Amino acid sequence: MPSFVILEKCDGCKALDKTACQHICPNDLIVLNKETMKAFNCEPEMCWECYNCVKICPTQAVEVRGYADFVPLGAAVTPLRGTDTIMWTVKFRNGTLKRFKFPIRTTEEGKAVPDGGWGTGTDDLKSPVLFTEPDSAGLPNIPSLKVTQ
Amino acid sequence: MANFETREVVTDLLIVGGGMAACGAAVEAAYWAKKHNVKVTLVDKAAMDRSGAVAMGLSAINQYVGLRDGQNTLKDYVDYVRNDLMGITREDLVANIARHVDSTVHLFEKWGLPIWKDENGAYVHEGRWQLMINGESYKVVVAEAAKNALGIDNIYERIFITEPLMNGDKCVGAVGFSVRENVFYVFKAKAVLVAMGGAVHVFKPRSSGEGLGRAWYPPWNSGSSAYFTIKSGCEMTCQEVRFIPVRFKDAYGPVGAWFLLFKARATNGLDENYMQTRAGELENWKPYGKVKPVPANLRNWLMLLDVMEGKGPIYMRTEEAIAAIADKYKDDPKVFKKKMKELETEAWEDFLDMTISQAILWAGMNVAPEEVKSEIAAAEPYFIGSHSGASGAWVSGPEDLQTPETKKEYFWGYAHMATIPGIFCAGDASGASSHKFSSGSHAEGRIAAKEAIRYIVDHPAAPSVDQKVVDELKAKILNPIDIYEKHYKYTSDPEIHPEYIKPKMFMFRLQKIMDEYCGGVSSQFKTSKALLEKGLVLLNFLREDAEKLAAKDLHELMRCWENTHRMWQAEAHLRTILFRKETRWPGYYFRADTPRMSEDWLAFANCKWHAKTGEWEMIKRPVKYINEAL
Ligand SMILES: Cc1cc2nc3c(=O)[nH]c(=O)nc-3n(C[C@H](O)[C@H](O)[C@H](O)COP(=O)(O)OP(=O)(O)OC[C@H]3O[C@@H](n4cnc5c(N)ncnc54)[C@H](O)[C@@H]3O)c2cc1C
Ligand code: SF4
Ligand code: SF4
């Protein structure tokens, strides 16, 4: 079962209007059982192991067990995603542990400014020059054919 | 009929999809929309933060031309793409994307995507066109800019776009349903920008159990772009040009860093390097066989020849590559240690950023890449026109990138507009312009969005929608729920019923047909006229049975329609392979009855489905280049 929910750890996102794991799964796999208030993967064989449900769960209740039809048992890969970095722990079948930490973004969350700080080059809807160009391209102009018709 | 509320949204530009191309479109459209008082709405089946092929993240930006620093020219890029696609390329489209892609990448950097830099502040390249990134949050960052530009009120998530909304030959929007509540959505628009990605699970995957979802391509992109454009009557192109990536076997982890950055070789079970032992075979595929780098499909082909001769397994020689790098630093133990640590981190990040399953598989098999080689294999066929495949809609090129010869074939008013007025396509949705990848798809979304706004300004009439058409679509789309409700109580197991078929079994049936008759994994990607014709007979039965799909809930209703979308992608594919009487991309597919490339077929094989008659028309169009004028 690719992603699975540890029942003891899941609090159903405290019955907020939407559960985090259900909100994020790109394949609509996670469902909250309204009776037990625990989430579960309703179609594990359609899981991509993208880990988005794992990364987003506030209580670390979601984990992944490698696809049993080709992955030997015993390994675990566990992320801890912060605001600007992600930490990974890779546990091998033989017990070896490796840890990695990678940056994930250089700006503050929510602060991506669409024009990236570049003035726009043109007001002409007909020209091939796009919003923020040609400055954002780092070019004096957007190239075209050498010999035009 | 099932009791679904109908909600209507009236807009000007409707962007369907929320992936890389759609996010580019959102940023661009928002800017021009404000200036011209145009309303823009975006609809995604999932949550934009993590939807589409980049949902997990990526470890590289695969298209960066480097025009700013004079690293390459537009012509360099166009030459590379044309050769990789064995000559079948719309150079006007490739050049158009290539001249805007650097700007997109610079925007990504400003938005917060960490791109690796060397000590001089220059981007670190993985290969000539590829940049290394810390891309775990690639999609989050790109979606954030799109959301900030468009405003959250103009974005609809968790709505599955099912059908184009037509008024005769004109597209006037799209319809779909929420996968969270019983609501049927009608989006009325003056123009629609299609960006719903490519397709997987049209062919049987290698995996057979709970790993079914671990295809290289994400299971949630199910051919909706192709379906939307085919059903609205758009001419389609390169529907035969599927993509089969060679990746680490089973988990399909990326090989780019190993081949390009670490310079690893691949060898067969006898330690032979098929790129050397089979170099002679490349003669058969000239001129493309002789270009560097060797086209992706030909590299696949040389490997497959070994596999078919029983010379597998095929290995990525990770241990050799690392030893070679280590050798360079062997005299300085301190530098050596540091370098080895760096290499290890880079290798694992490549997986953790974009294919975490591969990290689990290596950990499960106790793989230390410096000690043991790892198996690679060809995956199953996918439809991803933005990558090394080319399938998609046939779209107009930009006016200023046409020569007098290309203009009459490739230009009809608005760049990246399909043959149905008002439908624009980007990313996997537009064809014959491969190798755009994540960055080029975003750039193409921007180009198409600006042109779509121009179209709307030029054609301001409100969309005229026939209520009867909407009512019929609603009944058709909800039909699987009605069928289930009506019948399910009859048998001991609601999954097994003489009156209906559930979406999962429907998908397996489609996959079996495609796998066995249309050159899937189990037939080593080989097919022929006779096989294809038989496959078509079976597909026809399947199309009839699609009317009997049954869904017990919203989730299954989406699965029903995803698989119907896949089925149409499948038919366009099969018919186009049948139409092209040659083999041009061995390694992607091989027509055993026409085993060689033919000069007659240095042409586009296009197709079009006619709603009135239900017939397919096959169209051959000339290939004309612009590279000499670039
Ligand atoms: C495994 C893998 C690795 C890759 N590696 C790289 C790499 O290293 N570097 C690189 O540059 N590129 C890479 N690519 C290519 C890149 O991901 C694609 O080129 C790019 O994502 C295409 O953009 P798109 O917008 O066309 O599709 P996507 O980004 O896939 O977006 C499709 C969107 O459509 C939505 N959608 C689908 N169906 C519907 C529907 N019916 N209704 C509503 N919405 C729908 C989806 O939810 C999603 O939002 C990789 C691709 C894959 C699959
Ligand atoms: S790992 Fe990804 S595909 Fe699987 S359930 Fe979680 S979010 Fe969905
Ligand atoms: S995000 Fe975590 S806590 Fe919330 S419902 Fe999902 S598994 Fe439970």
Are A106 and B345 in contact (CB < 8 Å)?
no
Q: Which helix (H) or strand (E) holds B603?
A: strand B603-610
Residue A80 placed within a domain: no
- Rounded distance from Cα B390 to ligand 1 centre (Å): 14
B534 CB-side CA count, 13 A:
12
Nearest CA owner, ligand 3 atom 4: A13
- Find the range with the poorest average confidence among B97-101, B339-343, B398-402, B467-471: B339-343
Mean pLDDT check: name the lowest of B102-111, B290-299, B326-335, B419-428: B326-335
| Confidence check: pLDDT of A1 > 70 | no
So what's the pLDDT on residue A147?
A: 62
pLDDT at B260: 87
H or E, element range at B476: helix B467-487
Q: Where are the alpha helices (DSSP H) in B151-281?
A: 224-231, 256, 274-277
Q: Which of residues 76-115 of A touch B (CB under 8 A)?
A: 76-77, 79, 81, 86, 88, 90-94, 96, 98, 100, 102-107, 109-115
Distance from CA of A5 to the nearest CA of B (A): 16
Contacts of B503 by beta carbon, 8 Å cutoff, 6+ apart? B480, B549, B551, B556, B559, B560, B562, B563
Contact status, residue B260 vs residue B126, Cβ threshold 8 Å: yes
Query: ∠A33-A34-A40 over CA atoms, to 5°?
Result: 15
Q: What is the pLDDT of residues A47-101, one digit of tens each?
A: 999 999 999 999 999 999 999 999 999 999 999 999 999 999 999 999 999 999 9
Closest Cβ opposite residue B134 in set A25, A103, A130? A103
Residue B56 has its nearest CB partner, among A42, A51, A106, at: A51
Question: CA neighbours within 13 Å on the CB side: how many for A82?
Answer: 10
In this structure, the residue with its CA closest to atom 5 of ligand 3 is A12
Distance A87 CA to ligand 2 centre (A): 19
Worst-scoring range by mean pLDDT, B32-41, B317-326, B535-544, B596-605?
B317-326
**Per-residue pLDDT band at B69 (split at 50, 70, 90):** very high
Of A25, A48, A64, the one marking the end of a domain is A64
Average pLDDT over residues A108-123: 91
Confidence of residue B159 (pLDDT cuts 50, 70, 90): very high
Percent of chain B clearing pLDDT 70 (strictly above): 100
Residue B232 has pLDDT above 80, yes or no: yes
In a domain, A72, yes or no: no
**Cis peptide leading into B381, omega within 30 of 0?**
no
- The verdict on residue A52 lying in a domain is yes
The full 3-state SS of B228-260, as one line of letters, equals HHHHCCCCEECCCCCECCEEECCCCCCCHHHHH
Question: Are the Cβ atoms of B50 and A90 closer than 8 angstroms?
Answer: no
pLDDT band at residue B261 under the 50/70/90 scheme:
confident
Question: Is the pLDDT confidence value at B72 over 70?
Answer: yes
With a threshold of 0.80, does the pTM exceed it? yes
| B314 and B267 Cβ atoms separated by less than 8 Å | yes
Q: Which sign, positive or negative, has the C-alpha torsion B402, B409, B450, A127? A: positive
Half-sphere exposure of B201 (CA within 13 A, CB side): 30
- Tell me which H or E stretch contains B345: helix B333-354
Residue A54 within any structural domain of the chain: yes
Ligand in closest contact with the CA of A37: 3
What is the average pLDDT across B349-371?
Answer: 97
Active site residue B83: no
Report yes or no: B214 and B347 within 8 Å, Cβ to Cβ: no
Sheet holding B246-248, edge to edge: B246-248, B374-378, B314-316, B266-267
Average pLDDT, chain A: 94
Q: What is the pLDDT of residue A122?
A: 84
B535-575 pLDDT, tens digit per residue, is: 999 999 999 999 999 999 999 999 999 999 999 999 999 99
A94·B111 Cβ contact <8 A: no
Per the structure, the complete domain to which residue A11 belongs is given by 4-64
In chain B, what are the domains? 246-378 (3.90.700.10), 475-595 (1.20.58.100)
Task: Please report residues of A whose CB lies closer than 8 A to that of B35.
Answer: 123, 125
A20 within some domain: yes
| pLDDT at B598 exceeding the cut of 70 | yes
Residue B99, pLDDT above cutoff 50: yes
User: What integer is the mean pLDDT of B147-166?
Assistant: 98
- Mean pLDDT value across residues B105-118: 98
CB-closest option in A1, A103, A112 to B114: A103
Nearest to B625 by CA among B397, B453, B324: B397
List pocket residues of ligand 2, CB cut-off 6 Å.
A 2-3, 24-25, 27, 29-30, 41, 47-53
Mean pLDDT of B347-362: 97
**Rounded CA gap, B490 and A59, in Å?**
43
Do residue A138 and residue B345 have CB atoms under 8 angstroms apart?
no
Question: Per the domain annotation, does A146 fall within a domain?
Answer: yes
pLDDT at position A149: 42
pLDDT band at B2 (very low <50, low <70, confident <90, very high): confident
Query: Domain containing A23 — which CATH number?
Result: 3.30.70.20
In a domain, A19, yes or no: yes
Of residues B90, B247, B416, B565, which has the active-site annotation? B247
Neighbouring C-alpha atoms within 13 Å toward the C-beta of B259: 18
User: pLDDT class for B412, splitting at 50, 70, 90?
Assistant: very high
Q: Is B386 in contact with B440 (CB distance < 8 Å)?
A: yes
Number of independent structural domains in chain A: 2
Q: End of a domain among A24, A45, A64? A: A64
Mean per-residue pLDDT of chain B:
97
In the predicted model, what is the mean pLDDT of residues B500-514? 98
Q: Using the predicted structure, report yes or no on whether residue B67 has a pLDDT greater than 50.
A: yes
Mean pLDDT, residues B449-461 = 98
Tell me whether residue A134 is in a domain.
Answer: yes
Of B224, B168, B171, B607, the residue nearest B423 (C-alpha): B171
Q: Which of B260 and B488 is assigned the larger pLDDT?
A: B488
